[in-house]
Amino acid sequence: MNIAEAERRTGLTRANIRFYEKEGLLTPTRGDYTEDDVQTLRKIMLLRRLRLSVPDIRAIESGAKALPEAAAGQLDVLQGDIRESEQAYAMCRAICEDRAEWNGLDVD
């Protein structure tokens, strides 16, 4: 299949597909994409949604890092993000409830 079909099948843009090729995550033969290439792109998309880095994905794909190990590391990152989001939510809620204004905003 050509790149347009790979785009259609994955929902990725041509630029994204080319980026993953450049990063060595995908190696189509002479611009022809196989079903395996499409499945690789779908796996990459899933891992990117989990916010794994391209280097981590490359390490997982090559076997240098185990997927459960990478996922465990990502759990710690996501837990930190959850705490930060909860704090931001609480601050926004307090601003709304207090009907705070710029001039009266207490940053402490």
Task: Give per-residue pLDDT as tens, 59-72.
Answer: 999 999 999 999 99
| pTM given for the model | 0.78
pLDDT at residue 30, as a whole number: 87
User: Given the structure tokens 């990063």, which residue do they identify?
Assistant: 23
Task: Give per-residue pLDDT as tens, 83-103.
Answer: 999 999 999 999 999 998 999
Confidence of residue 80 (pLDDT cuts 50, 70, 90): very high
Task: Give per-residue pLDDT as tens, 31-67.
Answer: 899 999 999 999 999 999 999 999 999 999 999 999 9
The Cα–Cα gap between 32 and 25 comes to 15
What's 65's DSSP letter? S
The Cα–Cα gap between 84 and 11 comes to 31
